[in-house]
Amino acid sequence: MSVAGPRPADAVAAPIGPAVAPARRALAPGVPLGLAWPAALLAIGALAFVARLALMVRGGGLTGIGGYDDGVYYAAADALVHGRLPYRDFLFLQPPGVVLATAPFAALGVLTSDAFGFAVAHVAFMAVGAGSAVLVASLLRRHGRTAAVLGGLLYAVFSPAVYAERSVLLEPLGTIGVLLALRLLQRTSGDRRWTVLAGVAAGAAVDVKIWYVVAAAVLAASAAGRRVPFVAGFVAAVAAGYLPFVVAAPAASVREIVLDQLGRPRAPQSLLFRAGEVLGARAFGPVSARTVAELLIAVALVVGAVAALERSARVFAVLLAADGLVLVVAPSWFSHYAALTAPPLALCFGVAVSRLLRAVPRPAARIALVAVVVLGIAALNEGQDRRRVGTALPAAIVAAHGSTRGCVLADDPTALATMDVLSRDLAQPRCTVWPDVTGWTYDRDGIRVSGRLLARRSNDVWQDDLVHYLEAGQAVILVRPDTGLGRESLDEVHRGRVIAASGRFVLRAAR
């Protein structure tokens, strides 16, 4: 289906396959034709990276406390570097991909310091997010360079993407895997090697998080006539990622990766709340966050429908619908989950902008429209992108590690990395480190009453296990309120003498 009216030369649509070369037109006066597009991509990538970095720097810094999951993944990678396998040797409730991806940074931490390795890992994951913003623009180029730049700009500053890609999380890796697969499918021209690589990229995303199997299925369906090589690459990547760990611990890996996740309790958030998080809705002047969410839902439905009308962009719309359904049915909910729909949403947005620009015949009107779009993107995301995320561990606590001997344990492994005792603990065979402390409440210590998981503070099995773990070392620090220690458990842990204290953070000798 096409829209009547003039179509600029740089907005030619094409089916999935080799990209149609756009007209060679500079993006801005004075910029050489050959440098305009690379300069635009570089600017988008730089903006995306700075937005993600700024979110951390304004808060707790590159080793700040408060994310929890990033500390879990880094600690699991450090455990792997020290010869401990997930599932076989320690609990890990996610696929192994993030452990493998983070292992080089954990190894760097062993050679330098845990805090340095952890900080570099953060920067690397931010760079991955910046790469995803560039890929979004690249995928949209066939729909016009202006639309491509605006789509890339949206992704670069889109608050759900910025929040999820600021740290060592699953979503940055899964997102870039799906976008790479899309780009490779777009480039291929009868060469099956590109299609196999697209399948490998999609499989690598599933190695990180099972949810991405939905996106992989959509991509396989879109690869008309090339499904066999795509599926071959996908299967190879999934086998390479999972099999070594499944063979080492078949029962534990299936239970932790699949069954424990399915057994998570249903989060209480409403569908409108989830949609608002997906779209980065927030209160805007006198307009409530709920109203903004409702307006953005309408916009998302429109841009998705417009993309569905464009044959070469239909896969973007299907991805948006499929990923949105995953978020609707997901039992648990955390803010970084909203990044799942960010790439197809930005892609559909770019396609919709392309169609809108075609319908505006006058150059001056087009410039005004682009200006309005840019201002809208900035206004809707500026507040969220200026949040403070995390809390810095006080210097007095960090420095105290030099006066401790033996194992230092915590309810959040991020504290161990920041204090530079994580690798020291893992190097001691008799030192037990739980990379995911509260993960046990979904596994061995998950007690159900009338089909529902018992709250952590009411779960005596969890309380006993946790206190036993925290008192197994020579020193202990508590940093995470959501750990769920009850009053008696806190009193037990707090009986040890104080080694160092600053604000709410206290490092104590274990009893």
* Boundaries of every domain in the chain: 34-386, 395-509
- Say what the pLDDT of residue 205 is: 97
Say which residue, 267 or 244, is predicted with more confidence: 244
Helix 145-157 vs helix 33-57: crossing angle, to nearest 10: 10
pLDDT score of 411: 93
Is 119 within 8 Å of 63 (Cβ atoms)? Answer: yes
Region 27-50: mean pLDDT is 79
Angle between helix 170-187 and 114-139 (nearest 10):
30
Lowest mean pLDDT among 108-117, 319-328, 330-339: 330-339
Q: Band the pLDDT of 267: cuts 50, 70, 90.
A: confident
- Helix, strand or coil, per DSSP, at residue 22: coil
Position 279 scores a pLDDT of 87
pLDDT surpasses 80 at 256 = yes
Instruction: For residue 36, give both structure tokens.
Output: 């305009």
Residues 476-485: tens digit of each pLDDT: 999 988 899 9
Q: What is the reported pLDDT for 5?
A: 41
User: DSSP characters for 98-163?
Assistant: HHHHHHHHHHHHHHS-HHHHHHHHHHHHHHHHHHHHHHHHHHTGGG-HHHHHHHHHHHHH-HHHHH
Q: Interior CA angle at 482 toward 477 and 485, to 5°?
A: 60
Q: Which residues pair with 502 in a beta bridge?
A: 505
How does the average pLDDT of the chain come out, rounded? 88
Give the position of tokens 């910029």: 31
Range from 325-339, 341-355, 377-391, 467-481 carrying the lowest mean pLDDT:
377-391
From 167-171, 298-302, 381-385, the region with the lowest mean pLDDT: 381-385
Closest to 208 (Cα-Cα) out of 100, 124, 128, 129? 100
**What are the backbone angles phi and psi of residue 328, rounded to the nearest 5°?**
-70, -40
Residue 302: helix, strand or coil by DSSP?
Answer: helix
User: How far is residue 69's CA from residue 164's CA, in Å, rounded to a whole number?
Assistant: 11
Confidence tier at 188 by pLDDT (50, 70, 90):
low
Give the span between the Cα atoms of 11 and 351, in whole angstroms: 10
Instruction: Check residue 385 and give its pLDDT.
Output: 66
What pLDDT score was predicted for residue 327?
92
Residues with Cβ within 8 Å of 235's Cβ and at least 6 positions away in sequence, in order, are 199, 203
Give the pLDDT score at 32.
56
Q: Among 232-236, 274-278, 378-382, 422-426, name the one with the lowest average pLDDT.
A: 378-382
- Residue in this structure with the two tokens 């396959």, named with its chain if needed: 17
- Distance between CA 303 and CA 348 in Å, rounded? 6
How confident is the model over 364-371, as a mean pLDDT? Answer: 82
The answer to whether residues 409 and 467 touch, using CB atoms and an 8 Å cutoff, is no
How far apart CA 26 and CA 36 sit, in angstroms, is 5
13 confidence band (pLDDT: 50, 70, 90): very low
* The predicted structure's pLDDT at residue 28: 46
First to last CA, the chain: 73
More confident residue, 277 or 189: 277
* Residues 438-463: tens digit of each pLDDT: 999 999 998 988 878 888 999 999 99
Alpha-helical segments (H) within 411-486: 413-418, 422-426, 460-470
